Amino acid sequence: MKKNKKKIFVTRPLLPKKENFQKKIDEIWESQYLTNNGFQHKLLEKELIKYLGVKNISLFSNGTLALLLGIKGLELKGEVITTPFTFPATVEALDWNSITPVFCDIDPITLNINPNKIESLITEKTSAILAVHVFGNPSDVDRIDEIAKKQNLKVIYDGAHVFGSRLNGKPVGTFGDMTMFSFHATKLFNTLEGGALTFNNDSLKEKLDLLKNFGIKNPEEVVLSGINAKMNELQAAMGLEVLKLVEEERQKRKKIKHIYEHCFKDVEGIRVITTLDDESSSYQYFVIEINKEKFGRSRDFVYEELRKYNVFARKYFYPLCSNFKWYKDNESARKTNLSIANKKIKQVLSLPFYGDLEEDSVNKIIQIILNSQKG
Ligand code: T4K
């Protein structure tokens, strides 16, 4: 098989037609309003409330700052129980709030925090559970909710991977005290960089909007210590244009997902992790797990084989957060406490997945993976 001339990345941003974005830029120039809750920002809030089916939303300059300020807004402190199997932003948002992450092992099928292991980690210092809907697979929200109610804990979801999906028919952004969404360029829905918090409690709206705007209530009053984490007008305008394309993009990704799934379904040692479809799926990632004993080759071997052909899959979320050097004295970060997460981190591979990925390329990627068994 020939090496691809062009590099194939794990994803490509969903881009509107340049002339449509240009129209938005013209509006912004005309208004001379570039940031600070301008027209585009207000409109995007409205559109996203509708699209995501949520009660309240606050927009941010990126998902990490949204999460960081959501944690602050909920006044979490002490210890928060979370997953090590996530992007660094999740646990770094706790670090920035001077909160100790308490790592909980993951479920071997969904790769989400394992609710059966949460309760034994609760101490008098625990203030919340921070769960991640990893690769779009929803966390066990019912069990988490039950534990949180019983133990009087808050629940915050990192929903960076679940834009627009529903769980048991309910919009995913309506669970727990708060959900964070990421609108980074690599996400299904993007605002270049950007993020949001969604929440049911109306009284949080004013607080979160203050937190991202230095705590400034009006020109005469600064009511809390905030920061600058505002989404600007160009970001919001991009969001308004990209939102129009999301449904079509989901359909294209669904097709690609089915090609991958069909070809991997009988392959010993390969398990598809992102199995959900239609409204339950965010179509954000297509992720497989490679069992070296059964497949005959390791994840790292397959990853390198793909690179030889100019295909850049990703080993998300390697390295595992609990293995970061600054957690070496954190008891919960010990490998013996997190055996599933430490095992899965060596097996998981995110394959190229975006609407414009050509069917030929998908078939070629599959072929490289299958050939690597022999190679
Ligand atoms: N929580 C979770 C669970 C997350 O996954 C993330 C972010 C966050 C929180 C934080 O949200 P944000 O603060 O980012 O809103 C990427 C993204 O930067 C990151 O947003 C995302 N998760 C993570 C899973 O993926 P990298 O380090 O892999 O990005 P990068 O630059 O290597 O991009 C991956 C590939 O995408 C490139 O090889 C090529 C392609 N690409 C990328 C960009 C930026 C493009 O084609 N165009 C582009 O503009 O983190």
Residue ranges matching CATH 3.90.1150.10 in the chain: 246-371
Q: 286 - beta bridge partners? A: 351
- What's the pLDDT score for residue 375? 62
Atom of ligand 1 nearest to the CA of 187: 20
d(CA 57, CA 55): 7
Task: Give the chain's length.
Answer: 375
Which pLDDT band, with edges at 50, 70 and 90, does 4 fall under?
Answer: confident
Residue ranges matching CATH 3.40.640.10 in the chain: 18-243
Which pLDDT band, with edges at 50, 70 and 90, does 2 fall under?
Answer: confident
Ligand 1 environment, Cβ below 6 A: 9-13, 62-64, 86-87, 89-90, 132, 158, 160-161, 182, 184-186, 195, 312, 314, 316
- As a whole number, the mean pLDDT across the chain is 97
In this structure, which residue's CA is closest to atom 46 in ligand 1? 12
Give the residue-averaged pLDDT of 233-253. 98
d(CA 130, CA 71): 9
> What percentage of residues in the chain have a pLDDT greater than 70?
100
Q: Which CATH number fits domain 18-243: 1.10.8.60, 3.30.2290.10, 3.40.640.10, 3.40.50.2300?
A: 3.40.640.10
d(CA 341, CA 175): 24
Q: How close is the Cα of 7 to the center of ligand 1, in Å?
A: 17
Q: 129 - beta bridge partners? A: 81, 155
Question: Could you report the per-residue pLDDT of 64-86, keeping only the tens digit for each?
Answer: 999 999 999 999 999 999 999 99
Question: Could you report the per-residue pLDDT of 39-55, keeping only the tens digit for each?
Answer: 999 999 999 999 999 99
Q: Which CATH number fits domain 246-371: 3.40.1440.10, 3.30.43.10, 3.90.1150.10, 2.60.40.60?
A: 3.90.1150.10
In this structure, which residue's CA is closest to atom 44 in ligand 1? 185
Which pLDDT band, with edges at 50, 70 and 90, does 281 fall under?
Answer: very high
- What's the pLDDT score for residue 3? 85
Question: Could you report the per-residue pLDDT of 12-27, keeping only the tens digit for each?
Answer: 999 999 999 999 999 9
pTM assigned to the model: 0.98
CB 287 within 8 A of CB 349: yes
What's the farthest any 2 CA atoms get from each other in the chain? Answer: 71
Q: Is 249 helix (H, G, I), strand (E, B) or coil?
A: helix
Q: How close is the Cα of 147 to the center of ligand 1, in Å?
A: 32
